[in-house]
C-alpha cells in the first residue's frame, strides 16, 4: 500500500515486491545479573552449565528467538523458558533484577552493563549472530531524503 518508505528488520523477507538489502549483522549475547551463579563461576563456561538455568526470552517468531532456538536449544533442548516477552527493555529489567538470564542483542545489553546491572557470559560455543535488513518496495519512488537516510544508516553503523 506504499505507506512506508522503508523498514529495518531482523531476519529476512521473502516477498517479491520488496527489496531486501543486507544492512549489518547483529551480535546477540547471553546475559545475566552480576550476582547470578554462572557469572561468579570463575572458569570458562560450557553448554552443560546452562542445563538448569531459567531463561527470559523474546517471543516465538522474533528473529532474536530464532537465533536462540537454532543455537542454544541444540545443546540445551529442555531449556527452562520461564517467561517470554515482546520487549527487550522488559526482559533486561527482569534479568537485571536477578530472575534468570537472556539471549538478546549486545546493543540492547550495553547500557545496563555500563551501569553494572548486567554481565555478558562468554559463550564461544554458540553462534549468536543474526542479519539485519533494510526493506524497500521495488516500485516506490526513492526520493533524496530516503536515499540520504539509507546512506546514513549504511555509513553510520558499518
**pLDDT at position 80:** 98
pTM confidence score: 0.83
Cβ atoms within 10 Å of 89's Cβ, excluding its own: 11
**pLDDT at position 43:** 96
What tens-digit pLDDT sequence spans the chain (158 residues)? Answer: 678 889 988 877 788 999 888 888 999 999 999 999 999 999 999 999 999 999 999 999 888 999 999 999 999 999 999 999 999 999 999 999 999 999 999 999 999 999 999 999 999 999 999 988 889 988 888 899 998 988 888 776 55
CATH topology of domain 7-157: D-Maltodextrin-Binding Protein; domain 2 (3.40.190)
CB 6 within 8 A of CB 134: yes
**pLDDT at position 156:** 67
Spatial distance between the Cα atoms of 123 and 102, rounded to a whole number of angstroms: 12
Instruction: List, in order, residues 6 or more apart from 92 with CB less than 8 Å away.
Output: 31, 102, 104, 108, 109, 112, 118
Instruction: List, in order, residues 6 or more apart from 34 with CB less than 8 Å away.
Output: 116, 117, 118, 119
Amino acid at each position: 500500500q506504499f505507506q512506508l518508505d522503508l523498514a529495518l528488520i531482523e531476519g529476512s523477507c521473502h516477498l517479491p515486491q520488496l527489496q531486501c538489502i543486507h544492512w549489518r549483522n547483529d551480535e546477540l549475547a547471553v546475559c545475566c545479573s552480576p550476582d547470578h551463579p554462572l557469572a561468579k563461576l570463575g572458569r570458562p563456561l560450557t553448554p552443560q552449565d546452562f542445563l538448569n538455568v531459567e531463561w527470559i526470552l523474546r517471543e516465538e517468531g522474533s528473529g532474536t528467538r530464532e537465533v536462540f532456538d537454532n543455537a542454544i536449544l541444540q545443546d540445551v533442548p529442555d531449556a527452562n523458558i520461564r517467561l517470554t516477552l515482546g520487549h527487550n527493555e522488559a526482559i533486561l529489567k527482569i534479568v537485571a533484577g536477578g530472575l534468570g538470564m537472556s539471549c538478546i542483542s549486545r546493543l540492547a545489553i550495553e547500557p545496563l552493563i555500563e551501569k553494572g546491572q548486567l554481565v555478558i557470559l562468554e559463550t564461544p560455543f554458540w553462534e549468536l549472530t543474526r542479519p539485519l535488513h533494510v526493506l524497500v518496495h521495488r516500485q516506490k519512488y526513492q526520493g533524496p531524503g530516503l536515499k540520504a537516510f539509507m546512506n546514513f544508516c549504511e555509513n553510520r553503523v558499518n
